[in-house]
């Protein structure tokens, strides 16, 4: 029998705020943090719109550790600390081998890579920084979270582009269900606002020149952002035994692959992931009150996702609430799913559906209730969170009231 897995802590940092509570407050206000990127290194970028973290909070990460950390790892540690603090967890000699971490990352340590390239190619330096290799590896964030918090159970990184967070969280659920861990700190982090990364996205012609308008007929593309989101997952029995406050239940996950194209999507792949998630969670379509959409703001993505939702939910697709919070925190790549999970947990706890900001014009191909511009009060017992990525790797999570 599968163990029930519950959420006992959440943490986040992105352009909307430096903690989960601030991020949620901004979402409820429908406030977008998207703006003009001010970094001088982005001087020749045409679409200089993005969602940056203006100032990192004081973090007191050990100086020796910080020397070996790229920005995405710092963000992961900050979000993980908040989640673990809320959960009231402490690693001790008796439990630390039962506590683990999985962190999803989409583009890894490009800040360190670019700094080294500039130093060597433009300024004549003969070698990279001593810690460049461990800084840039995709598993670095998970390693740093484990070192910072003293977690010695299953620890590893997950990378599947824009689905990385949801894949990492689904994998963490499996560790608990299989009995390899009692607690997993899971989520995602990314810091893609780097010249080379933004330039490569610009070359695909998918970046918006102004802002992110998911599902709006006049949308012009996606907007990149940076951030991290982390949650604490525990077996239900473990959480109850230590008297933890249970925020919600991670009821199920659905994974699929399009097996079609490195960049283009199918309808069938996302539909299959949604159906698999409902089945894993023991839910039927009518149980779902709110769906946090992948909703990137690109024309094909929004239309395909809408079609997949209609196929999976039937008539109920028009009765549940849908929104894309990327309209406010932008597309944080490997961190997006974890930030969106914060919205799902908080929607259940507060009975509020966050809006799709910047919405202006109805699109007949995206005709669901996308909660335009203004948050809505609604009793929310069950939510789904969609993440779909390049190479057709799809991951959907189901969260329900505990």
Q: Name residues whose C-beta falls within 8 Å of residue 355's C-beta, 6 or more positions apart in sequence.
A: 27, 30, 323, 327, 371, 372, 373, 374, 375, 376
CA distance to 108, 144, 336, 384, 396, per residue, from 294 (Å): 21, 28, 9, 11, 10
Asked if 178 is an active-site residue, the reply is no
Burial class (CB in 10 A: 0-12, 13-18, 19+), 34: buried
With residue 272 as reference, give the H or E element that holds it. Answer: helix 268-281
Tell me how many degrees the CA angle 258-261-267 measures, rounded to the nearest 5.
Answer: 40
Mark 258-281 as b/e (b = at least 16 C-beta within 10 Å).
Answer: beeeeeebbbbbbbbbbbbbbebb
Structure tokens at 193: 């606002």
Asked if 167 is an active-site residue, the reply is no
Structure tokens at 252: 């199920």
Asked if 294 is an active-site residue, the reply is yes
Catalytic member of 212, 294, 329, 344: 294
Catalytic member of 162, 277, 344, 366: 162
Contact 289, 380 (CB under 8 A): yes
Catalytic member of 51, 329, 331, 332: 331
Alpha-carbon span 337 to 335, nearest angstrom: 6
Tell me how many degrees the CA angle 255-214-31 measures, rounded to the nearest 5.
Answer: 110
The catalytic site residues sit at 162, 294, 331
């Amino acid at each position: 029998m599968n163990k029930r897995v519950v959420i006992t802590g959440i943490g986040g940092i992105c352009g909307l705020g430096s903690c989960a509570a601030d991020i949620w407050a901004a979402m409820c206000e429908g406030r977008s943090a998207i703006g003009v990127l001010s970094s001088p290194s982005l001087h020749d970028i045409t679409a200089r719109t993005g969602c940056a973290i203006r100032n990192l909070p004081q973090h007191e990460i050990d100086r020796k550790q910080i020397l070996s950390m790229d920005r995405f790892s710092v963000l992961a540690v900050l979000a993980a600390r908040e989640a673990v603090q809320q959960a009231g967890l402490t690693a001790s000699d008796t439990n630390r081998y039962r506590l683990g971490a999985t962190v999803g990352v989409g583009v890894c340590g490009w800040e360190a890579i670019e700094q080294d390239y500039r130093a060597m190619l433009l300024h004549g330096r003969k070698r990279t920084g001593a810690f460049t290799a461990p800084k840039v590896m995709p598993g670095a964030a998970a390693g740093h979270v484990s070192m910072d918090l003293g977690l010695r159970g299953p620890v590893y990184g997950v990378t599947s582009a824009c689905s990385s967070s949801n894949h990492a969280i689904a994998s963490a659920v499996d560790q608990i269900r299989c009995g390899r861990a009692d607690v997993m700190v899971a989520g995602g982090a990314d810091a893609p606002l780097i010249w080379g990364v933004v330039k490569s996205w610009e070359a695909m012609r998918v970046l918006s020149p102004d802002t992110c308008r998911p599902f709006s007929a006049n949308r012009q593309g996606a907007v990149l952002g940076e951030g991290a989101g982390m949650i604490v997952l525990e077996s239900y029995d473990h959480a109850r035994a230590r008297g933890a406050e249970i925020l919600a239940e991670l009821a199920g996950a659905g994974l699929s692959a399009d097996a079609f194209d490195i960049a283009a999507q199918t309808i069938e792949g996302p539909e299959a992931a949604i159906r698999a998630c409902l089945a894993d969670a023991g839910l039927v379509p009518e149980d779902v009150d709110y769906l946090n959409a992948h909703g990137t703001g690109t024309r094909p993505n929004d239309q395909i996702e809408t079609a997949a939702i209609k196929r999976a939910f039937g008539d109920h697709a028009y009765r549940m609430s849908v929104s894309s919070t990327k309209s406010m925190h932008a597309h944080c790549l490997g961190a997006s799913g974890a930030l969106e999970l914060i919205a799902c947990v908080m929607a259940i706890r507060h009975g509020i559906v966050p809006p799709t900001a910047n919405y202006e014009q109805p699109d007949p191909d995206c005709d669901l209730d996308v909660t335009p511009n203004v948050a809505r009060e609604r009793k929310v017992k069950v939510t789904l969170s969609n993440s779909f990525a390049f190479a057709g790797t799809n991951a959907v999570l189901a969260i329900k009231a505990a």
